[in-house]
């Protein structure tokens, strides 16, 4: 399983950034590779959602479960089912100064594609890193306007 990490500072309070991040349907409208996100159910801090996007010209779909930790200002997510073999990770929201929040996104994944070699593996990792950064930038756009 491969892993990517990315972070970004957003010029708002931890509470505001965390609250906006929980609106995953709105956040997804700012992601160019995501075509649809739908909340399927929500029970307390646990949210199940359906995602449909595009990866290298191929449609991908998956369902994930998010565990929102209000006290710790984190969200852990994991694959329920879908086109990934494995997909999980965490969002972390940390104070970085007055009205500044560092958002960290960590994703562990296995696309279930038999890798031919190191070159393809590096390419896929770069694509996943770009997607992680795009998610952070989308959150920044939602929060900062």
Position 110 confidence tier, pLDDT thresholds 50, 70, 90 = confident
Position 29 confidence tier, pLDDT thresholds 50, 70, 90 = confident
Query: In the predicted model, is pLDDT for residue 54 greater than 90?
Result: no
**Residue pointed to by tokens 């073999």:** 85
Task: Give the per-residue pLDDT at 137.
Answer: 94
What does the domain layout of the chain look like in residue ranges?
A: 2-144
Cα–Cα distance measured from residue 117 to residue 144, given in angstroms and rounded to the nearest whole number: 41
In the three-class reduction of DSSP (H, G, I as helix; E, B as strand; rest coil), residue 42 is classed as: strand
Position 117 confidence tier, pLDDT thresholds 50, 70, 90 = low
Task: Give the per-residue pLDDT at 122.
Answer: 79
Q: CB neighbours of 4 closer than 8 A, spacing ≥ 6? A: 106, 107, 109, 125, 128, 129, 132
Q: Is the dihedral of CA 118, 130, 100, 37 positive or negative?
A: negative
**Would you say domain 2-144 falls under CATH 3.30.530.20?**
yes
Model pTM? 0.89
Q: Higher model confidence: residue 6 or residue 54? A: 6
Cα–Cα distance measured from residue 43 to residue 46, given in angstroms and rounded to the nearest whole number: 5
Task: Give the per-residue pLDDT at 56.
Answer: 74
Task: Give the per-residue pLDDT at 64.
Answer: 97
Query: In the predicted model, is pLDDT for residue 32 greater than 90?
Result: no
**In angstroms, what CA-CA distances link 112 with 1, 66, 100?**
10, 22, 38
| Structure tokens belonging to residue 45 | 């801090």
């Amino acid at each position: 399983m491969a892993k990517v990490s990315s972070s970004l500072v957003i010029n708002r309070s931890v509470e505001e950034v965390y609250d906006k991040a929980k609106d995953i349907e709105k956040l997804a409208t700012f992601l160019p590779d995501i075509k649809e996100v739908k909340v399927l159910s929500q029970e307390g801090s646990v949210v199940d959602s359906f995602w449909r996007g595009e990866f290298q010209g191929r449609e991908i779909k998956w369902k994930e479960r998010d565990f929102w930790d209000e006290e710790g200002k984190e969200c852990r997510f994991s694959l329920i089912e879908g086109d990934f073999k494995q997909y999980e990770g965490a969002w972390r929201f940390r104070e970085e100064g007055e009205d500044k929040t560092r958002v960290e996104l960590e994703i562990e994944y296995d696309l279930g594609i038999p890798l031919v070699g190191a070159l393809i593996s590096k390419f896929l990792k770069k694509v996943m890193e770009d997607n992680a950064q795009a998610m952070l930038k989308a959150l920044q756009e939602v929060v900062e306007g």
